[in-house]
Amino acid sequence: MGLLAIFASSLLCVTCCHALRGFPAPLPSEGRYEWTTHYFQQKIDHFGFVEDQSYKQRYLVNADYYKAGGPIFFYTGNEGDIELFANNTGFMWEIAPEFHALVVFAEHRYYGVSLPFGSQSYSTPGNLNYFTSEQALADFAVLGQYLKAEYSSPKLIAFGGSYGGMLTAWFRMKYPHVVDGGLAASAPIFQGDTECSAFSAVVTKDFDAVSHNCSAGIRQSFQRLPHILKSMGDSEFAKQLNLCKVTMSGAFSDWLQGILGYLAMVDYPYPASFLEPLPAWPIKEACKFFGRSTYTDDELVKGLAAISNFYQNYAHEEQCINTSSFAYKGLDNSGWNYQSCTEMVFPSCNKPETDFFPPTPWSFASYSESCHKQYSILPRPDWLKEVYGGRLSASDFSGHSNIIFSNGKLDPWSVGGVLETSNPAISVILIEDGAHHLDLRHSNAMDPSSVVRAREQEKEIITAWLAQ
């Protein structure tokens, strides 16, 4: 999930208050998957009667395992190129043969190549007006109904991770006649109702669990960074850290906060390339650069250089450290920035009593001002609660059924997820050693037992849905 630089994010696949920017190619992949690419003609506006144009929504299909009467496994695309998610959602591919399922990955409007107004999709507020989660869900519903008829498939099971997980949950809630059940992995659907420092607190906890000295050293780095930059100068600091360009102190601090959040999100038990190529348990590896609790300024600079290079250049493919880049190319910051300024308002702040980041207050007034300056719009912080239900009103999900909410306890986004429910028709799975939607990834010999059990539970629940 991407954000404006001063903002908090959602899954989506972003962190703290930072935007996803400029990413390297090629697409990362956890497995070798094949598909055929298709396009479906969608209405630009599903809910009005004036705008009658249509656009081509991209979706990917694999029918290798499908047998007549089998279900459709339908991934609700999120903030990026749909091929990124197809390459990193191995659980769907892995269980499809067992269920004789048709595998489908549907791209979210305004992302990838599914652009309602082509190259002009982001050019005017009017063209962006149809960029909402409600319109995206309607796309999924229309496409889902078409596919069920086209393949004579009686059942559709939705899958999604992060923002895609939020969409999967809402898809089942809003279109139960189309969706028979949904696995919403790491879906922070309550993030707007969550205490603003909660994300940062989990990031800090993850590092502290590996090494208290590590978290103490990082805290000291943030505390000393303004003094280091003042005494060293921006140019010399950039040289010492091998930065691609000279940055102001605030920009580097923002970038550092971002990569620490990402390390917590992708603290997987095996090497992976979802955001950047990283080794197994990357927090443990990163903490090797901060093995003591106190440092001289020169030592802190060396530690910051090492952790920056570790995150962005672990594969030794870069000549310098690009602080304008947080993660992989397939994630789209421009789209998520806009969504953050409309519906996806997730308060974010840092507090010294709970996290190691520099103290940063949350100001909705400043947030709104920035949104208006960039997009000529004002965010609606309560809209998600009004249209989908908030933390209190949806705590038992009365009237809803057949949704799995899975969350890894290592994942900072778990604080906005569904961690309990009194509704027996809703399943909550907590993964002790899981980071961001680890259960949606392909199985690996290095997987902890907690995620192995979670996947088995998920398969059992999906089997029961299909028997209903």
Digit-coded pLDDT (tens) for 53-77: 999 999 999 999 999 999 999 999 9
b/e sequence 5-37, b meaning 16+ C-beta within 10 Å: bbbbbbbbbbbbbbbbbebbeeebbbeebebee
Q: What is the pLDDT of residue 2?
A: 40
Task: Point out the catalytic residue in the list 81, 411, 439, 447.
Answer: 411
The per-residue pLDDT for range 214-253, each reduced to its tens digit, is 999 999 999 999 999 999 999 999 999 999 988 776 889 9
The per-residue pLDDT for range 266-277, each reduced to its tens digit, is 999 999 988 888
Q: What is the pLDDT of residue 324?
A: 81
Burial label for 42, CB within 10 Å (0-12, 13-18, 19+), is buried
Q: What is the mean pLDDT of the chain?
A: 90
- The maximal CA–CA distance of the chain, rounded, in angstroms, is 70
- 54 catalytic residue (yes or no): no
Please determine, for residue 26, whether its predicted confidence score (pLDDT) is greater than 80: no
Beta strand pairing call for 36-43 and 54-62: antiparallel
Which residue do the tokens 């199985």 mark? 443
- 436 catalytic residue (yes or no): yes
| Cα 11 from Cα 163, distance rounded (Å) | 4
State the pTM of this model: 0.92
The per-residue pLDDT for range 124-149, each reduced to its tens digit, is 999 999 999 999 999 999 999 999 99
Confidence of residue 412 (pLDDT cuts 50, 70, 90): very high
State the average pLDDT over residues 325-330. Answer: 60
Whole-number percent of the chain with pLDDT over 90 = 81
Task: Point out the catalytic residue in the list 114, 121, 162, 427.
Answer: 162
- 227 catalytic residue (yes or no): no
Confidence of residue 395 (pLDDT cuts 50, 70, 90): low
